[in-house]
Amino acid sequence: MTRPYQHWNVLPHGNLTEVDDGILTVVGRIRMPLVSLPRRMTVVRLSDSRLVLWSAIALDEKGMATVEAFGRPAFLIVPNDHHRLDAKPWKDRYPQLQVVAPEGSRAKVEEIVPVDTTAPHFGDARVRFVTVPGTHHREAALIVHTSNGTTLVLNDLVGNIRGASGMEGWLLHLAGFAGNVAQIPRVVKLALVREANALRDELLRWAELDSLRRILVSHGEPIEANPRQTLRDLADSLA
């Protein structure tokens, strides 16, 4: 696994795009052993223009100017202890950031940067932090409501990499991050899923969100075609 960075280290990434009112996302790439893995950062603007940064990655100065024009960085969510890579450089750049991590990942994250809370209060009822049941308190999710519908922001729990090919694609398929459908990666099941029934119940609860419009995942494409059925299918895979 790549060691967390101590300084601002810009790796290849795309442009920030607005997927809904008050939600930006950007995809970069990180070189892991044997594969180049896409990774997604999501930025959510609260009602008072403060920003919630999910799985933050270091952007070039053009990207950072876009972030700062969007709002004021206030919360840095490290959604599990595998997503610590850029946490310290972000905290160094914005000392006022409140660092958030799920309780089960807190100790590992604090090896890199102090964690302020495992239960953040955003001051905006439209945005809710969730510690995902069944993951031994190690994995987080974010539920964001806008006038257009609901966005569910997930981390490693679901992989949805499409079009991967060659040896790298084969390895990503083998791990379960890539394929023709969204899936809970095999390596994630082994590392994070401790109580499959509890996780299954949570997936089914999310599937009952009538307003659900999309699922954003850290590794792969957004899920916008019938996201509620996708959640049901993922729950069935745990049965």
Measure the CA–CA gap between 44 and 46, rounded to whole angstroms.
6
Residue 225 near residue 164 (C-beta atoms within 8 A): no
Reply yes or no on whether the pLDDT at 35 is more than 80: no
pLDDT at 31: 81
Instruction: Evaluate whether residue 5 is within a structural domain.
Output: no
pLDDT in tens, 141-173: 999 999 999 999 999 999 998 877 787 777 877
Q: Is 45 a member of any domain? A: yes
Evaluate if residue 222 carries a pLDDT over 90: yes
Report the predicted TM-score, pTM, of the whole model to 2 decimal places. Answer: 0.95
Asked if residues 149 and 213 have their Cβ atoms less than 8 Å apart, the reply is yes
**Residue-averaged pLDDT of the chain:** 94
The C-alpha atoms of residue 43 and residue 135 are separated, in whole angstroms, by: 24
> How many domains does the chain contain in total?
1
Q: Does 116 map to a domain?
A: yes
Q: Which amino acid is at 173?
A: H
Flag whether pLDDT at 74 surpasses 80.
yes
Q: Are 224 and 213 in contact (CB under 8 A)?
A: yes
Reply yes or no on whether the pLDDT at 127 is more than 70. yes
Look up the CATH number of the domain holding residue 56: 3.60.15.10
Range of the domain at 223: 17-236
User: How many Cα atoms occupy the beta-carbon half-sphere of 75 within 13 Å?
Assistant: 27
Position 215 confidence tier, pLDDT thresholds 50, 70, 90: very high
